[in-house]
Structure 1
Amino acid sequence: MKKIILLIVSLICSNILFAQQQNATFEVNPSTFNEDDEITITVSNINPSTWGVTDLYLWAWSFDINDANTMDSPTNGSWTNSNEAQKLTNNGNGTYSFTFTPTTFYNRTGIGSIGMLVKAKDGSGDKKTQDQIFEVGVFQLNLTSPTNNVTIINANENVNITATSTINADFNLLANGSSVHTVSNSNNYSFTVNPSETTNYTLQANDGTNTLSEEFQIVVRPIVTEESLPTGLLDGINFDENDATKATLVLYAPNKEFVHVIGDFNNWTIDDMYLMKKDVANDRFWIELTGLTPQQNHLYQYLIDASIRVADPYSTLILTESNDQYINNTTYPNLPDYPTGNTNHAVTVLKTGETSFNWEIINFTKPNKKDLVIYELLIRDFDELHSFDAITARLNYLEELGINAIELLPVSEFDGNESWGYNPSFHMALDKYYGTKEAFKTFIDECHKRGIAVILDVVYNHATGQNPFYRMWNTDNGGYGGQAAANSPFFNQTPTHTYNVFNDFNHSQQATKDYVKRTAQYWINEFKIDGFRWDLTKGFTQNCTENDESCTGAYQADRVAILKEYADYQWELDDTSYVIFEHLGSNTEETEWANYRLDEGKGIMLWSNLNGNYNEATMGYHENGKSDFSWIDYKNRGWTYPSNVAYMESHDEERLMFKNIEFGNSNASYDATELATALERLHTAGAFYFTIPGPKMIWQFGELGYDVSIEFNGRTGNKPIRWNYFDEPNRKAVYDIWATLIALKKQESIFKTSDFIINANNINGLKTIHLTNDDTSDDLQYVTIIGNFGITTQSIDPDFQAVGTWYDLLDNNSSIQVTNTNETISLQPGEFKIYANSQVVLSNEDFVFNNVNLVMYPNPASGLLYFTDEVSNLKVYDITGKEVITFNNHYDKNHAFDIKNLAKGIYIIKGKSLNKSFSKKLFVR
């Protein structure tokens, strides 16, 4: 069986080279053969050096006598490591060969055909040839006319049917299952037909033992009704609000002659009752379906010019023949069955009369952009159940960390099941591998209940070959390969920037703009999505080539214009929607976006990659400004507002802890590669990250010091899910420190100030941050942060803003007296301090009952805990939900509760006060 390899890439501006598939020439000797004959496959017109290799390998599969039941060669190996048993022989003349006997090689009998391709030993990056199929059997039938599976003719037009066989045979031509012509004992067949209607033909040849057949269809061109599209209809599915037995389908298809709808309502056959009307002026076909059964899954496709069958480009749920069987009933209960045997390619699921989702949060107030702490999350690698339900169940963990936004890697339908999602095929369909739309809505509603926004990563630079609009106009006759046709309304024939993979959208085309807007509208209106992170915005220009980075990286006016148009539309749908671009380009272009409509309270946010600088700091290298992360200061970019979404890690960056452990600096007494030490250095990184004004982002499990390389199992391959890290004290300490820092960031106005200075370029790794509050009425006027990112003990000048009493915010507000603002302070390697001129007590989220405030104090606590009123039935839980202490009795106000045995961390206390239940967050230090 052909191994389907999905090139799943993350599309950041990195220097990754993507190898090209090669179209080689395959020959087999002898040209006809039985399954037990020895054969030699010879491959020519191939250059292994294109892939950076010298050796080539055969990847092979086989089919049974009915061209079904595919099986891989047992000695294929893996796609990234082919078995040496299938290495081709270099013939020294530019050709490569491989000799085998099919029954032995494939370890099976009853073989009808064999398939193969040639690849590099590691086939990742598309280092392969096209597929090649050879029929098995000395007796072969070759249909020479018509040459296409579908032939379109006018009424009363003749069609010649011709064929040859390798040995004499009896021929029988069937039309719609009935015999219409025979020829006996010949190796040539010829007959002329004149069908009056669309007819399915089968030509059979029998040599006395075996019967071979070829199937083809002759379509009589239908008469299409030309009629304007009714007012108010959108591309895709339009439901009738007053009649759940009806739905109107609209397909944009310029330069196409006619379109039939095929589906379970007409047995997947051409039926002119389902011939779509044509709105010539708007290049759209449309049809009103009637007689549908409400709340029943109907399946359909568009059959275009009787030759290309595609799912609706605006499907919200599709079924595929090769992936759905691997989606379990827990993830997606009652998934409809693919109509196997009736059609091929993706099909659309249509259901009318669905019950509306009962949203509990109707008008969610999004966190202020300045306050955003975004958690970037890949569902597949976050929980082994890889579902919306699974991450909903993990929300307590994220809420207690303190994040207020979750950014999901793409969840729209992508090729295959397991992916980062940057290989989109249907931009408006939810990928079933993550669950149902009801589960997704429940997840969003639960996030909104907790004050957490949901941001989607959307990929509009490109689409894979499965995308219907790509298949409708390409050089592969509607297949998944080739390239976009010159008349494609959506895709460029060749990429117009340097970072493209798959098929490059042409954003200067109105059709593409309409597609982007229509699909974006769906996610915001249907799911209450709070914003988009637009992937690879550098690719939205039409001015460059795939080999000219100087052009792609330079300011491009067309790109700026189209992205502003998309931002405007997003804000038209939701006035407060987050617009985030992953551009990573010139500051000139990004500044224009950051300032765009800023006076209206909008402005576009930009991804800001500080991975390299922070990682150099955590590893302990500082020469030549390696660890200078001061670009995180938006003012250094000439901006007046913190529009930079800064990150130390993202899905695309190597993990901090992996490099700490592999490459950290050391000396005789201190080693940054030692696990506990490396984790402690993340504390310091967090102190010099979350406290800097502006939005921040965490990549999943960074808060636990995830140390598995991004290249593990291939860059986009599945990564180990390490929830056990939470039970390791040194890793849990990172979570706790970061949670405290995030709480400070969100609670105290000084961490939103515009008056701050970062000194991060000391060659010895000493760094400081000084913040002065814009709000002069706040008691907390000054914060000074000092840190030693070096690997030796050093003294640092804190340069306090004022003399007086200063408090260590991460040491229970312990105080120091400052009489000399420049008196040095000694810091151990990796140590930091956050000093403030006023004490800070983190909010314990007091609840009000019967107009009485129940206060829990102190918080943070260590040793004893008190409440200002009577309480009873107290239970203390860690943030995984495990009960760790119980106080079952009734207690007077100000009773001392012993919590000395609680480890440092964050806990939830639940109980009753004045006959009312309460729940509070406790910080133990």
Structure 2
Amino acid sequence: MKHLYYLLLAIILLPCHAANAQLITTSPAIVQRSSNPIVITFHADQGNKGLMGLTSSTPVYAHTGIIRKGSTKWEYAPQWLDNSAKYKLSYVSANTWQLTIPGINEYYGITDAVEVEKLAFVFRNANGSKEGKTADGGDIFVNVVQDNEFELTLTSSAESEYITQARDITFTATTTSSADIDIYLNSMTSTPVASAKSTTALTKTIAINTPGTYNIIARATSGTKTATQTSTITYLGQSTQTDYPGGIPQMGAKANSDGSVTFCLAAPDKSNVLIVGSWNDYDIATSLPMHYQDYNGNRYFWATVSGLAADTDYPYYYLVDGQYKVGDPYANLVLDPWNDRYISPTVFPDMPPYPSDKVNDVPLAVYNSSINDYEWKIKNFKGVDQSALVIYELLIRDFNGSEGQSLGNGTIAGVMEKLDYLKELGVNAIELLPVMEFNGNNSWGYNPNFYFAPDKAYGTPDDYRKLVDAIHERGMAVILDVVFNQSDGLHPWYRMYDIDRNPFYNGTAPHSYSVLNDWNQDNQLVQQQFKDALIYWLTSYNVDGFRFDLVKGLGSNQSYNATYNQSTNTWSGVTEDKTNAYNASRVARMKELHDAMRTVKPDAYFINEDLAGAKEENEMAEDKETNWANINNASCQFAMGWQSGSNLNRFYAPLDDNRIWGSTVSYSESHDEERMAYKCAQWGNTGIKGNVAMTMRRLGSVAAMMLMSPGAHMIWQFQEFGADETTKNGDGSNNTSPKKVVWNYLNDPDRAGLKQSYSELCAIRNGNPQMFKEGVTTVMSCDESNWANGRTIKLSNGTDELYCIVNPNISGSKAIEVPFTKDAAQYHLLSASYGVEPSLSGKSVTLPAGAYAVYGTAGMTDIEDIIDDVTPQINVYGGIGEIIIEGDYRELDIFNISGQRIHGTSGLPATIYIVIVDGTSNKVVVR
């Protein structure tokens, strides 16, 4: 579950001249430095609509300050969440609130000669959980005119500068002092349509009856001073009913055989949509309306555009009902008017420029006929079995960049430089925190806006593909973290509707874990979007599977037993107990998504962050899905040296409330959990707190108990060398700000020793896959009761045995009794804590406090040991492109050095292979 997701870099200015359907209006219409009083009217149904639908009894407050001339910094503002009476707004009517400012100096406490240029506002509820801002999440500003300046403003009764039907529109020109005012239609060379002498306001209603563009111009003259303002109204043509070519609408941009492109947007309950593109210089007046088709209960708008050149970028957007400018939900690349300017050309060379001289307030989709063309080096990658995954969870932003600094400047190029490190570490999959186009450039990615476009902050679309190729070349899989429970406020389907009437989103969530904008999971178009997105990334980016964020939020609305208020599109009676209860609709929904993935990649990885009960997760497991298993608290307890709560048997799925074998991805750290090393430094037991060497040793023992447990596991980036920067805020929520890049930690011998332990443990798994598959006899003794006398894990498969032994104590060596079945001479040491030399005698292993050791029988292999032992009757060796087996055998398993199962003994790439013949492990080299 996520809390604070992103740092939005954009600042949006709200102009107060020539405006339509303003988020705030003022009285007087033009605010001067000496205006007294000033009434600010906040329209909660405009902008981001974060406070829309609040009742009259709900307190609404203004967080407000001033911007002085020549500055962008807020000044004279209170502390955030100051609920003093002076900041409280009065309820006027539905979605309309007012704040009275008696005078700028008096209200803000200004005592010096400050030249105030703007008043700044963010509106909020009492605890700040809901905010009223601009449509794009920016602060709200009101221009302040100096008392000696002459100013004219022109406002319109139209909700937008675009209308879709004939209507009368009222225009009002207002001045700061008495003036002669004229209002013209289209040209000041014509006769004014309205005039007044010696006045401060003039109003004129004009009938707009014919499609076209109308310029209403106000001119005011006061003595020698003259000012003009223009308001433009465009009466758009109408969309007409015509079926999509072929009869079945397909969302997004589809290339046709004749070279034309058909664009399609799903927009239920809308009547008019235009596609506005670079092909006609974004001229709305000459943009033809799209056709529409009603299909399966939904309305789709479509248009076919001809004459687009190959391999050329064409940005475009949709204008919906003359009121909403939106991008394409199915865009493969998105241009952001607020944040792209901060992306370095070295990160995204030749980025299509945002046409800010033509468009300035909408994310643009980019169509390019070759945007998904890429010549893959690795076309048919095959990863390890899902239950054998050892995943490295990676946030590109913080994985690389400026060493020792927290700038969040990591890139795909930086990840590429570290792939050999990850390969050597021994993981067999990399899971990327969300990379779908998110809000801002500095984010964890859990605030997506477009599900088919990679975020540009890390690199180009082909950079992502090169990364996938390079990961596959090293035998590792790629898993994407995806966010299907919520989106940010720039998603087209969020912007196209008032939230109380939005068919795609809930006004509030029916479950207890929502943070941003909650998807209506019952909408078939929402589900189609998700399925199409999964298929797109599996095919166009060749990824190997997905981790689904907050699956508890993916159930049907009614499944949470909350109460729906249709008038506000909100849910009440939401509780954690209801959310956490068994939910069959979540099981069904995840199976639907899995079925969609199977149509293009039947063996794609499927991981749920459900964190629910065993009944629900076992039903998901029956569909070959895996589920996150959070063992962080117990891992931290062990690492800190506290026996209570340190049960680590849960690393093994059958001991995690009887979950199905191999059905969990268990972990001791993740992006959502506190770092073990940080907790050791803060709350470690005697001899651990402040002792880096002992902390690293205990972290290594946690790693041993995790990685020696059969089943899939996950490592959070830098966990392997004891990263210790806190990941939490004071209230326990996630701190999503950039974290320090700490590769220099590997210069510390104890931290490097921990990393070596991870490498050795992964090598044991990769080199002995027969010991971690289903059917292996597994005895876990790693719960709280196994403290004073030590902890053990025993794996046995035929004559092969593997033992993990741990001394949990915080001081003193311990001789730990181990359930060996053979003489001591039959076991050899595969791995041990850094700087530790275990002693094996009889059936006991002596270890110092906090240390681990792993022993195996003669057939076991580690990263350094190439074993050529074979049975007397069978010879196994490598040839050129093949594995040769001489003799009769009953059972054969072949794995590459990364632990991937290989089918067949010929046509093999040159590398090292693990060949298991009748239970005996052999390493062979194929040339």
TM over 0.5: yes
Q: Out of 280, 305, 308, which is 1:292 matched to?
A: 308
Partner of 1:617: 638
Partner of 1:8: 5
Deviation, 1:851, is 9.1
Deviation, 1:550, is 1.1
Between the aligned partners of 2:159 and 2:439, the Cα distance in structure 1 is 27
Partner of 1:374: 391
Specify the SS of the correspondent of 1:607.
Answer: strand
Q: Out of 758, 762, 779, which is 1:757 matched to?
A: 779
Specify the SS of the correspondent of 1:836.
Answer: strand
Partner of 2:122: 117
1:581 aligns with 2:608: yes
Q: Out of 195, 209, 219, which is 1:183 matched to?
A: 195
Distance 1:238 1:107, change over 3 A: farther
Q: Is the 8 A contact 1:470 1:490 kept in 2?
A: yes
Partner of 1:485: 500
Q: Is the 8 A contact 2:618 2:660 kept in 1?
A: no
Q: Which moved more, 1:367-376 or 1:839-848?
A: 839-848
Alpha-carbon displacement from aligned partner over 1:84-125 (angstroms, at most 9, x marks no partner): 9x98976699999795399989998694x533236799x986
Between the aligned partners of 2:425 and 2:355, the Cα distance in structure 1 is 45
Q: Is the 8 A contact 2:480 2:543 kept in 1?
A: yes
Between the aligned partners of 1:55 and 1:306, the Cα distance in structure 2 is 31
Distance 1:202 1:707, change over 3 A: same
Q: Out of 735, 742, 760, which is 1:715 matched to?
A: 735
Distance 1:174 1:8, change over 3 A: farther
Partner of 2:451: 427
Specify the SS of the correspondent of 1:807.
Answer: strand
Q: Which moved more, 1:273-282 or 1:723-732?
A: 273-282
Q: Is the 8 A contact 1:237 1:249 kept in 2?
A: yes
Q: Is the 8 A contact 1:203 1:215 kept in 2?
A: yes
Q: What is the correspondence of 1:658-669 to structure 2 with a 5 Å cutoff?
A: 658-666=678-686
Q: What residue identity is the alignment partner of 1:621?
A: W
Q: Is the 8 A contact 2:688 2:810 kept in 1?
A: no
Specify the SS of the correspondent of 1:689.
Answer: helix
Between the aligned partners of 1:508 and 1:194, the Cα distance in structure 2 is 40
Alpha-carbon displacement from aligned partner over 1:234-275 (angstroms, at most 9, x marks no partner): 2001123552xx211011112111111112222323245532
Partner of 1:525: 539
Distance 1:9 1:109, change over 3 A: closer
Deviation, 1:392, is 1.1
Between the aligned partners of 1:327 and 1:660, the Cα distance in structure 2 is 38
Q: Out of 375, 394, 399, which is 1:358 matched to?
A: 375
1:548 aligns with 2:545: no
Q: Out of 569, 584, 587, which is 1:557 matched to?
A: 584
Partner of 2:413: 389
Q: Which moved more, 1:98-107 or 1:253-262?
A: 98-107
Between the aligned partners of 2:42 and 2:207, the Cα distance in structure 1 is 40
Distance 1:536 1:314, change over 3 A: same
Partner of 2:321: 305
Alpha-carbon displacement from aligned partner over 1:621-644 (angstroms, at most 9, x marks no partner): 013xx1011122211233442110
Between the aligned partners of 2:41 and 2:112, the Cα distance in structure 1 is 20
Q: What is the correspondence of 1:93-104 to structure 2 with a 5 Å cutoff?
A: 99-100=104-105
Q: Is the 8 A contact 1:380 1:418 kept in 2?
A: yes
Q: Is the 8 A contact 1:140 1:165 kept in 2?
A: yes
Q: What residue identity is the alignment partner of 1:628?
A: N
Q: Out of 173, 177, 187, which is 2:183 matched to?
A: 173
1:136 aligns with 2:114: no
Between the aligned partners of 1:277 and 1:120, the Cα distance in structure 2 is 42
Q: Out of 335, 345, 350, which is 1:319 matched to?
A: 335
Q: What residue identity is the alignment partner of 1:459?
A: V
Specify the SS of the correspondent of 2:374.
Answer: coil
Specify the SS of the correspondent of 1:390.
Answer: helix
Alpha-carbon displacement from aligned partner over 1:461-494 (angstroms, at most 9, x marks no partner): 01111100111122xxxxxxxxx233x3311222
Between the aligned partners of 2:804 and 2:233, the Cα distance in structure 1 is 78
Q: Which moved more, 1:570-579 or 1:192-201?
A: 192-201
Q: Is the 8 A contact 2:697 2:850 kept in 1?
A: yes
Specify the SS of the correspondent of 2:310.
Answer: coil
Alpha-carbon displacement from aligned partner over 1:715-738 (angstroms, at most 9, x marks no partner): 000111111112221111111011
Distance 1:144 1:338, change over 3 A: closer
Which has the bigger relative contact order, CA under 8 A and spacing at least 6?
Answer: 2
Q: Out of 245, 253, 277, which is 2:267 matched to?
A: 253
- TM-score by length of structure 2 reads 0.77
Q: Which runs of 5+ in 1 are unaligned?
A: 1-5, 11-24, 77-81, 475-483, 597-602, 854-916, 921-925
How many residues are treated as equivalent by the alignment? Answer: 792
Q: Is the 8 A contact 1:665 1:791 kept in 2?
A: no
Q: What residue identity is the alignment partner of 1:514?
A: Q
Q: What residue identity is the alignment partner of 1:439?
A: D
1:571 aligns with 2:598: yes
Distance 1:688 1:845, change over 3 A: closer
Between the aligned partners of 2:43 and 2:412, the Cα distance in structure 1 is 48
Q: What is the correspondence of 1:485-524 to structure 2 with a 5 Å cutoff?
A: 485-486=500-501, 488-524=502-538
1:593 aligns with 2:591: no
Q: Is the 8 A contact 1:26 1:41 kept in 2?
A: no
Specify the SS of the correspondent of 2:276.
Answer: strand
Distance 1:829 1:298, change over 3 A: same
Q: Is the 8 A contact 2:153 2:175 kept in 1?
A: yes
Q: Is the 8 A contact 1:60 1:72 kept in 2?
A: no
1:747 aligns with 2:767: yes
Q: What residue identity is the alignment partner of 2:779?
A: I
Identity fraction in percent: 27
Between the aligned partners of 1:255 and 1:798, the Cα distance in structure 2 is 70
Q: Is the 8 A contact 1:7 1:124 kept in 2?
A: no
Partner of 1:454: 478
Q: Which moved more, 1:88-97 or 1:635-644?
A: 88-97
Specify the SS of the correspondent of 1:406.
Answer: strand
Q: Is the 8 A contact 1:617 1:789 kept in 2?
A: no
Q: Is the 8 A contact 2:152 2:227 kept in 1?
A: no
Alpha-carbon displacement from aligned partner over 1:422-452 (angstroms, at most 9, x marks no partner): 0111111110001111110000001111110
Q: Is the 8 A contact 2:432 2:481 kept in 1?
A: yes
Deviation, 1:213, is 2.4
Distance 1:814 1:765, change over 3 A: closer
Partner of 1:809: 830
Q: Which runs of 5+ in 2 are unaligned?
A: 8-22, 45-54, 90-98, 402-408, 563-571, 867-876, 884-909, 914-927
Alpha-carbon displacement from aligned partner over 1:134-159 (angstroms, at most 9, x marks no partner): 3423666565652423363645x554
Alpha-carbon displacement from aligned partner over 1:682-725 (angstroms, at most 9, x marks no partner): 12111111111011100000001000000379700011111111
Deviation, 1:338, is 1.0
1:635 aligns with 2:636: no
Across the aligned residues of Structure 1 and Structure 2, the Cα RMSD in angstroms comes to: 4.0
Between the aligned partners of 1:736 and 1:324, the Cα distance in structure 2 is 40
Q: Is the 8 A contact 1:73 1:105 kept in 2?
A: no
Q: Out of 471, 488, 493, which is 1:469 matched to?
A: 493
Distance 1:7 1:35, change over 3 A: farther
Specify the SS of the correspondent of 1:771.
Answer: strand
Distance 1:575 1:165, change over 3 A: same
Q: What is the correspondence of 1:204-283 to structure 2 with a 5 Å cutoff?
A: 204-208=218-222, 209-211=225-227, 213=229, 215-222=231-238, 224-230=240-246, 234-240=250-256, 243=259, 246-271=260-285, 274-281=288-295, 283=299
Between the aligned partners of 2:88 and 2:530, the Cα distance in structure 1 is 50
- TM-score by length of structure 1 reads 0.78
